[in-house]
Amino acid sequence: MTSGPAPQVECDVLILSAFEGGEELPPPAAAVDQATGGGLSALMSREKFEGKASQIAEFTPGDAVAAHKVFVIGLGKQDECDLDTVLKATAAAIKKAAGISAGKVAIAPACSFGGKCGCGPMAEAIVSVSLLAGYKFVAHKTEDPKPNSIETIELLAACKASEADMLAGIDRGKVMAEAVCFARDLTNTPANIATPEYLADQARRIADDTGLSTTILGPAEMAEMDMNLVLAVACGSDREPRFIALKYEAAGAAKTVAIVGKGLTFDAGGLCLKPGRYMDSMKTDMAGAGSVLAAIKAIAALKPDVNVLCLIPATENMPGGNALKPGDIVKAFSGKSVEINDTDAEGRLILADAVAYAEREKVDEIIDIATLTGACEVALGKNVAGLMATDQGMIEKLIAAGKAGGEKLWQLPLEPEYEETLSSDIADMKNYAPEAGAITAAQFIKKHINGTAWAHIDIAGPSYGESPYMSAKGATGFGVYTLVNYITNGA
């Protein structure tokens, strides 16, 4: 962080901001404009720069300014500007800076000129998105064809009074960016490497690095505990399942939140086999597991006053000779019997055992996150996750927590009459109903909880694709911000 005047900041690219319809340039941009004898405002006029959200004007300032290039990013109308607008505009500018091989970038945050988001949150958001915008998964390339040129990103302090808030925001932003990159790496890793045991190894590593307690259960231990739904999904695969538990404990904490991630390291659909054209992306069916592992890693660093239990049922869903068959009946950890009428509706099965385990541990709240249904992606698209819960307060807090990190969640109704479509003639319930697919999937999980406050986040759409905060297609790490913000902001 630097507190020097914008024209004197030495860098390859200086990123400034402007609002749509503003009569005056914000102070950092005005200082650059004055230093260049009105050159910046003249350029903006020539290029018809109006300050619309994510619009970028590029300026070569000359010797009067220490930066080699100046980018002015539009943030839209000032009274409508929020963190999501700032995140998208900053990401676009960072990508553009990388495109011209900039090594050092300096950014004047919107809070420097009266932004309503606050200096700390603004600094956190800008640092996070700046680090995430250049993310690429190149672990299995022998050479990165276009490495990220940016080595340093520096923020301009608004004033002396804001420096402490900005420094705290910078530190948190680094923690969050590291966590999201970790979630992306896990989800992008191919299934021949990212096996259930691999996820268990990652959990052990996190526990060793942070001092968290961990429990890893294999098939024998799960059988003793009657985690039969997890075992049923796993029985078609040669790879053994794992049930992973990590615990963060805060001194004097009055509340415990369980975060549960679906850990399908590869989903072929079981005997209800998926079409081949969809199967190559099924390594990403453990994105929920990646998000909760990354979240507890960040939580261990940020140290909130809330206990957190992280649970991951990890398995493959394969069509082997011992695979689960349509028509089978399995007794769940909750004690309820399930008729299997679709082996490709497996995520809800393993989550049902996990949430029942969380309730047995007497947690106060349960949040599960999963790439659960194509129906949710059809309904809400690639940018919005579906959210259902038994507690409206949790809904509102989770939506706000996601918004603060650029993650959009939309509440779907848990209509009681839809739950009736899961009725079975020969068991307590079926595992699949074709109508209202995202809702009935959540309702199946809910049937295995007896009163504990619970929320379900379906990230089938936004877990993978082309995020506006990324430079390449792939896993997004969606859900890390929502979970961490929810827990650290007074869950």
Q: End-to-end CA distance of the chain: give it in Å, rounded.
A: 31
274 is catalytic: yes
- What is the rounded CA–CA span in Å between residue 138 and residue 282? 19
Dist. CA 327–CA 337, nearest whole Å = 12
Region for 335 from its dihedrals, namely left if φ exceeds 0, alpha if ψ lies in -120 to 50, beta otherwise:
left
Catalytic position from the list 136, 172, 247, 348 = 348
DSSP lists the bridge partners of residue 69 as: 13
Report the Cα 9 to chain-centroid distance in Å: 33
Phi–psi pair at 266, nearest 5 degrees: -160, 135
Distances (CA, A) of 258 to 158, 159, 181, 362, 410: 38, 40, 22, 10, 21
Q: Which of 5, 19, 125, 113 is nearest to 67 (CA)?
A: 5
Q: Amino acid identity, residue 2? A: T
Report in angstroms the alpha-carbon separations of 452 from 95, 131, 229: 44, 37, 20
Give exposure, 268-291, as e/b (b: 16+ Cβ within 10 Å): bbbbbebeeeeeeebbbbbbbbbb
Residue 75 CB neighbour total at 10 angstroms: 26
The catalytic position among 274, 325, 336, 403 is 274
Q: How far apart are CA 109 and CA 57, in angstroms?
A: 17
- Per-residue CA distances from 331 to 9, 21, 263, 299, 319 (Å): 65, 63, 20, 34, 21
Annotated active-site residue 136? The verdict is no
CB count within 10 Å of CB 12 equals 19
If phi > 0 it is left, if psi is from -120 to 50 it is alpha, else beta; for residue 226 that is left
Q: 């956190």: which residue's tokens?
A: 124
Angstrom CA distances, 113 to 157, 334, 337, stand at 11, 55, 60
Q: Which residues are catalytic?
A: 274, 348
